[in-house]
Structure 1
């Protein structure tokens, strides 16, 4: 309800003392993680690495794709835009499948489909074929984040989820880092050239699918489904029930849904605006070789990995929103170092600091979205919010390429005539600065359910939930309300079936 959302605005940025996690508690929580829980976490992390590797294969190949298809950068980036546009469709499809049928097989199918289109990307011969395959790949790619985050986080102890969230999210930076290393070392040495980068990405996705296939289903998901079967819900028209309860969720949480989309729009502009054309920015505006641009990209991703891990850990103590704000402020502070220098060392340092801030803020997002999600939609809600934000920000690469092409910069004088190049530095600096301010504002006015216990959904769904000795927290009351709404939905659909 709107009142639930507005109430959460006044809970403060720093978590209450009883929710704080000291180092001993955190270490005890990490030690309590079972082998299966570790398997789920690392599987989700690997899936997210594959997602990133596949996506950034295009960003790292822009120069080679220009030569292959004889197109300018602004046209080549259409492939990036289409991939991001279609990701929201994939998030809806695979998120719904995961919330209904489990975390395991929908993710396996998702990864295999992504591998097929990634493999196809390396065999195309014309630019329209490339755009078509990348669009279809966007659908497959869209489902992975929601499924990977729910698989990795929902079964972990509450006290470890902040650190785990940061480390999970930096699978994205690790995937970009691996792709950059491959592009730097293997691609120039192979006869297949840029195509080999896509073929390797397909192989990694198949490996991730195989790992998920041998792991069991999520324990939390199985418990929720067991409760439904115990209550006799297997005889109900499940499709009608799911659609009805989705509608009820949207009516109850519409402000939360709108807020999540706005927040993820800002975050995706921040990420894609600082990453997608960074190698092109260094080679075009700064005049570096493709080798040096790739090395700088690797350095930036090292900063991203460090930032995300530190921010995830810090959010467990300082709260989710305050941590996000702190790291976005770091982004704003280092924009000058990112765009003004001309030497490799200074620009690489700027890339490290910018990505430390960008991916540090991003490191809190998986657990922030999972904690604020309505319990019955923990795979659908984060994934769809994230990918709709991706859809809105999908044109970021084209905005930068078009803006840089129109905002020329003089580099040298050749035969008395100024040599003009696309000015990516100014365009990216303005875009990232504006978006950083927007993200800070959205974070300040947003909710925070720090320490939300996902497993309370099961207890709330059972009739005996009221026997818990502890007084419920705000988010536990919300979980109970969502469970009651779900039960009401099932009763209403059953009554309609009986009337018919």
Structure 2
């Protein structure tokens, strides 16, 4: 690794001193791995509601309804009377009540179920994300950074495509869990590869740019949805638009080719792996137990966990419900195609704001330090999210409010890519980053389901405002966070 000290502190050379064409190529390929990962996430967010509305409708068309009370019959018996009515002896509906629900009632029930299923589908993906992040984080320390990137790329792109073949909401959620496995593993492998491969003075810029470019993937997903509206029926033969969107998500698998033939494992990782082979018991790679037993690394892991859970719940439990916010704000006043268009352009602008927010965080972290940058970001999240979810009322509001939402909620993620690799030694770096960035997803996983459930009990905007309190966790965690500005990557 280049001999200069980090670009955050005093140095004899500039930020780009010692940066070779290979370093640029490495950053571009690693960024693309995370970029396409985020594109697939955006496709899911935009296709989530129409997909589950259709799958919920399919579920109801396959059900039989009790001839006495009209509720769906869930048992496998051939009786036309449900178990509850059999117990009470009821054989016909009350006077004036139809034996089966009216179409309007079924439409209401399907819409309610689609909203509820949307939260659970997101929760399934986040649980898979957490599981994959921890597993592939350890594997990146054991197998290598490049091999792990290839494996996670194939997992998330393959199962995104299969999501378009789902016939039931249960299948859809299973595919989203499997997509999450690959999504979770890519971040840790990509950031550790970049952190260990580029010159020290270039590290914060490279890692901040990697995370910022992920917004390009989100924007790409939003623009694709303009060409392939997710709510369109019979868009391509028998396929609805949301299915075609997921088929597009297979294409990033082609990135595996340059990953395999161009990227090389970092020398720091090779040395750590060699030390482990020599039998040094206190130098084992990829051991979460050893990480949590060591006082310093355990403290860093817990701080990273608190920082991560604040931003993760804020984004996936609130910020990424912006398409649903648009539906709520525009319902009844605009046709479905107009709402889809506002969602596509609005989320694209949200991602453009995210790109700017992550670049601003990178500049602040390099000049002021990691902790001040996190403080500004979490504080802006607290204010902006409450503002947007309470005052977005019409299409033009979406076009200026959602960029602010993206700027705030995604800015902290640049901090994760810069800060988390700086908290752990080489032999535990993939494990530590995976723990900080993905274990929090187990804690964050109930948030989307909770959000979806609470919106069935109280007003949508009120739920979002109440959940904004999660950003206080990140602000409090900064009290104990170490400042890594100007420090080399730790070793032990």
TM range (shorter): 0.7 to 0.9
Query: Residue 195 of structure 1: which of 225, 243, 247 is its match?
Result: 243
Q: Which residue of 2 aligns with 1:32?
A: 18
Q: Shift in Å at residue 445 of structure 1?
A: 2.5
Q: Does 1:425 align with 2:461?
A: yes
In structure 2, runs of 5+ residues without a counterpart are 57-112
Distance 1:61 1:255, change over 3 A: same
| Equivalence for 2:9 | 20
**C-alpha deviation, 1:371, in angstroms:** 0.6
Counterparts of residues 131-280 of structure 1 (less than 5 Å): 131-187=173-229, 188=232, 190-191=236-237, 192=239, 193-204=241-252, 206-221=253-268, 223-225=270-272, 228=275, 234=277, 236=279, 242=284, 246-252=288-294, 253-280=297-324
Structure 1 residue 382 corresponds to structure 2 residue 424: no
* TM-fit CA distance, 1:153: 2.7
Partner of 1:88: 130
Q: Tell me, in whole angstroms, the C-alpha distance in 2 between the residues paired with 1:361 and 1:173.
A: 13
| Residue of structure 2 equivalent to 1:314 | 364
Q: Deviations over 1:69-107 (max 9, x none)?
A: 124211132111011112222122222221122111121
From 330, 351, 357, the counterpart of 2:402: 351
Q: CA deviation at 1:338?
A: 4.5
**2:343 pairs with 287, 293, 298, which one?**
293
Residue 51 of structure 2 is aligned to residue 65 of structure 1: yes
Q: Does structure 2 conserve the Cα–Cα contact (< 8 Å) formed by 1:121 and 1:198? A: yes
Counterparts in 2 of 1:18 and 1:284: CA distance versus 1, 3 Å: closer
> In the aligned structure 2, how far is the partner of 1:87 from the partner of 1:143?
7
Distance change >3 Å, CA 226–CA 250, structure 1 → 2: closer
State how far apart, in whole Å, the 2-side matches of 1:211 and 1:92 are.
25
Q: Contact conserved, 1:95 with 1:379, CA < 8 A, in 2?
A: yes
Aligned pair in 2 of structure 1 residues 250, 223: CA closer, same or farther (>3 Å)? same
How many angstroms does 1:279 deviate by? 0.3
Q: Equivalents in 1 of 2:126, 2:429: separation in Å?
A: 22
What is the CA deviation profile of residues 256-311 of structure 1, one whole-angstrom value per residue up to 9, with x for unaligned ones? 22222222111101221333221011112443612112211111111100110121
- The C-alpha deviation readout for 1:179-216, integer Å capped at 9, x for no partner, is 11111223456453111211111111x12222211223
Q: Deviations over 1:310-360 (max 9, x none)?
A: 211221110011011112222233332452142333343222112212222
CA separation in 2, counterparts of 1:211 and 1:170? 21
Tell me how far apart the structure 2 counterparts of residues 172 and 396 of structure 1 sit (CA, whole Å): 23
Q: What is the TM-score when the length of structure 1 is the normalising length?
A: 0.77
Preserved CA contact (<8 Å) 2:39 2:218: yes
CA distance in 2, matches of 1:223, 1:235: 13
Distance 1:373 1:328 in 2: 23
SS of equivalent to 1:33:
coil
Residue pair 1:167, 1:309 contacting (<8 A) in 2 also: yes
Go from structure 1 to structure 2 and tell me whether the alpha carbon gap of 1:274 and 1:32 turns closer, same or farther (over 3 Å shift). Answer: farther
Over the residues paired in the alignment, what is the CA RMSD in angstroms?
A: 2.7
Q: Which residue of 2 aligns with 1:42?
A: 28
Please tell me whether Structure 1 or Structure 2 has the larger radius of gyration of its CA atoms.
2
Matches within 5 A, 1:100-115: 100-115=142-157
**2-structure distance, mates of 1:145, 1:220:** 20
What does 1:349-498 correspond to in 2, within 5 Å? 349-407=400-458, 423-432=459-468, 434-454=469-489, 475=490, 479=491, 482=492
2:37 is the counterpart of 1:51: yes
Counterparts in 2 of 1:114 and 1:19: CA distance versus 1, 3 Å: closer
The alpha-carbon deviation at position 242 of structure 1 amounts to 3.5
- Would you say the 8 A contact 1:116–1:202 is kept in 2? yes
Q: Distance in 2 between matches of 1:216 and 1:258?
A: 32
Name the CA shift for 1:367/1:19 in 2 (closer, same or farther; >3 Å). closer
Residues 419-477 of structure 1: CA distance to partner in whole angstroms, max 9, x if unpaired?
A: xxxx3222112212x122221111232122223323xxxxxxxxxxxxxxxxxxxx5xx
Counterpart Cα distance in 2 of 1:260 and 1:226 = 25
Contact 1:37-1:156 within 8 A present in 2 as well? yes
In 1: Cα distance, 2:416 partner to 2:441 partner: 14
Task: Report which of the two has the higher share of helix.
Answer: 1
What secondary structure, in the 3-state scheme, does the structure 2 residue paired with 1:84 have? helix
Distance 1:197 1:153 in 2: 33
State how far apart, in whole Å, the 1-side matches of 2:26 and 2:8 are. Answer: 25
Aligned residues: 417
